[in-house]
Amino acid sequence: MTSLTHLERLEAESIHIMREVAAEADKPVMLYSIGKDSAVMLHLAKKAFYPSPPPFPLLHVDTTWKFKAMYELREKAAQEAGMELLVYQNPEAQQRGINPFQHGPLHTDMWKTEGLKQALDKYGFDVAFGGARRDEEKSRAKERVMSFRTSTHGWDPKNQRPELWNLYNARKKKGEGIRCFPISNWTELDIWQYIMKEQIEIVPLYFAEERPTYEYEGGLFMADDLERLEEAMGTLPEITMRSIRFRTLGCFPLTGAVESTANTLADVVQETLLTTTSERQGRVIDKDGGDASMEKKKQEGYF
């Protein structure tokens, strides 16, 4: 008997983690961001509980600023998995018209950080699956698979529960929560390779195509919704058609595109492996607040 391959080991580990949560949590939920990591996580959930549908709903904490193509896939993916889809938009952010252009870091804070806390409290979810990976960013390298949060959603990196073998401690008091990261040990390359192997559907924006783009503060962005863009920026930026794709997906005004002609999975993987900049670099969020920025966001309750 030959050993399991690394993908088989990773898959088995993720499935094990999801089943532990299903067995021990009162009311779990899977956070679904519609990106490639979420797509893999959702696929693993289908495998973990087959022939049952995954025994929890999907939750999308929406900012209203996602790409149109993402919203389209969202509905379809939930339906195909036989899962309930919950969409939450922070009403306060909605009311104040928070947007990435005028409000900078507040946009992420209000829509995502606050939105997530509100959604978890509203539905009373005690364990939330997230698609974060340890290879993404330095402070995530130390995140536990089951990351304990206080009743105010805070994270204390110095006071984490030790995780040994494949034993996860999912015990908590009423009101406290756990963020669970079943794909912690996957790398970006593993994700791509698995998408290829399992033929998982992902948002077409990951593949290169001629798309309308504009430049903003030194970055290249896609003009996904001209009307809102004009409204938020006051004036419409200069739009040029370019062949672009995305390495990571978030809010369209915050997610930098890369010029590329990679339009198949193999080409995308090739480009990923030969690239010289790291995955999160296209995101603005890591940079405000200096070096410890993500760690700080997590202490405040960001995923």
Partner 1 sequence: MSDAIYKTDALIAEDIDAYLEQHQHKTMLRFITCGSVDDGKSTLIGRLLYDSKMIFEDQLDALTNDSKKVGTQGGEIDFALLVDGLAAEREQGITIDVAYRFFNTEKRKFIVADCPGHEQYTRNMVTGASTADLAVVMIDARKGVLVQTRRHSYICNLIGIKNIVLAVNKMDLVDYSQEVFDKIVADYAKFAEEIGIESFTAMPISGFKGDNITVAPSENTPWYEGPSLIEHLETVEVLSAQDAEKPFRMPVQWVNRPNLDFRGFSGQIATGAVKPGDAVRVLPSGKTSHVRSIVTYNGDVDEAVAGQSVTLTLTDEIDCSRGNVIAVADNPPEVADQFEATVVWMDDEALLPGRGYWLKLGSQTVSAAVAEPKYEVNVNTMEHLAAKTLALNSIGVAEVTTDKPLVFESYADSRQLGGFILIDKVTNATVAAGMLHFSLRRSQNVHWQAVDITREEHAKLKNQAPKVLWFTGLSGSGKSTIANEVEKRLNLMNRHTFLLDGDNIRHGLNKDLGFTDADRVENIRRVGEVAKLMTDAGLIVLTAFISPFRAERQMVRDLLPEGEFLEVFVDTPLEVAEQRDVKGLYKKAREGKLKNFTGIDSPYEAPENAEIRVNTVEMSPQEAAAYIIDRIMPLK
Interface positions with partner 1 (CB under 8 A): 1, 3-13, 15-16, 19-20, 22-23, 46-53, 134-135, 138-139, 141-142, 157-158, 160-167, 169, 171-173, 184-185, 187, 189-190, 193, 196-197, 266-267, 269-270, 273-278, 281, 291-292, 295
Q: Are 241 and 211 in contact (CB under 8 A)?
A: yes
Nearer to partner 1, 102 or 264 (CB): 264
Report whether 154 contacts 298 (CB < 8 A): no
- Contact (CB, 8 A) for 83 and 53: yes
In the complex with partner 1, the residue whose CB is nearer, 196 or 232, is 196
CB neighbour list of residue 155: distance below 8 Å, 6 or more residues apart: 147, 148, 149, 298, 299, 301
Kindly give the pairing relationship between strand 177-180 and strand 127-129. parallel
Nearer to partner 1, 94 or 150 (CB): 150
Are 167 and 17 in contact by the 8 Å Cβ rule? The answer is no
Whether the ω angle into residue 51 lies within 30 degrees of 0, i.e. cis, is yes
Minimum CB distance to partner 1 smaller for 5 or for 102: 5
Nearest to 36 by CA among 181, 264, 189, 142: 189
Q: From the CB of 148, what's the least distance to partner 1, in Å?
A: 8
| Closest to partner 1 by CB, 102 or 152 | 152
- Least distance from partner 1 to the Cβ atom of residue 231, Å: 33
Q: Cα separation of 256 and 218, whole Å?
A: 10
Of the pair 53, 91, the CB lying nearest partner 1 is at 53
Identify any residues that bridge with 210 across adjacent strands, giving them in sequence order. Answer: 243
CA quadruple 148, 151, 154, 156: dihedral sign? negative
What 3-state class would DSSP assign to 158?
coil
Count Cα atoms within 13 angstroms, Cβ side, for 176.
11
Which residue's CB is nearer to partner 1, number 27 or number 197?
197
CB of 27 to partner 1, least distance (A): 16
At closest approach, how far in Å is the CB of 33 from partner 1? 21
